[in-house]
Amino acid sequence: MVILLVSSGDPSAPWWDAAWVSDVVVILSVLVAVAIYWRQRLGSTRRQRESTLAHLKGVKASMEAWADDYFGTGYEGDAAENRSEVDFNAVMQGGYSQNFCVPTEPVVSLIQPPGDAWPISSRTVEAASVALLRLTIFNQFVQQQTDFNLLHAAELKRPDLSDEAKMPIALASRRISKNIHASAIGDGSWYKDLIDALDANVQEIEGMLDFKSLPST
């Protein structure tokens, strides 16, 4: 029987000079590189989620500071009619009602978020798109009301202005008010939908951060 012996190297050479050592070093280097990359990837994903979370909370806080007063009440059915009657009576008493334009930038930022951030949920984006349309209409009617009041403010302060002269101004003021409350604000469901979407989006990202979930591919 013939036995072939394959030598793996000079047995007298130290082990660190063996050929397999260099292979192990290469493999370890690759594993270290992958581990570093993955750690950086996880860190980047977490920062993106934290950035988006802060953004969503900031938008909600800024809107609740003023938007609840404007849009927290719905104006369905007789509610808009009753509210516009307040403006009618104000003119008949020699005064007027004035709403104020609202900022749209917080809502716009939900539709066009910063580039380096975790994606905002589609539900939030859709609710923000509807809300932006409503806010734009609201601001247009408010600007109309502002121009109208500016035009008639001095006239309404005249002590000799008769009720007959006030009537067409009061009717026009009532019409503008009804547009603001019935057409722009409506039942207010669009505002509630936006706040609910923000809350759900915040909870979703907080859950991701709490469980340290891996980034999506």
41 Cβ neighbours under 8 A, 6+ residues apart: 215
Q: Hey, what are 102's tokens?
A: 């609202």
Distance CA 2, CA 159 (A): 129
In degrees to the nearest 10, what's the CA dihedral of 43, 111, 70, 187?
Answer: -120
Neighbours of 39 (CB within 10 A): 10
Residue-by-residue pLDDT tens, the chain, 217 positions: 444 444 455 555 555 555 555 655 556 655 555 554 445 554 567 888 888 999 999 999 988 888 888 999 999 889 999 999 999 999 999 999 999 999 999 999 999 866 666 789 999 999 999 999 999 999 999 999 999 999 999 999 999 999 999 999 999 999 999 999 999 999 999 999 999 999 999 999 999 888 554 444 3
Per-residue pLDDT at 216: 43
Tell me whether residue 112 is exposed, middle or buried, using C-beta atoms within 10 angstroms of its C-beta: 0 to 12, 13 to 18, 19 or more: exposed
Per-residue pLDDT at 112: 80
Q: Give this prediction's pTM.
A: 0.75
CB 137 within 8 A of CB 185: no
Instruction: Please give the distance of CA 88 from its chain centroid, rounded to a whole number.
Output: 36
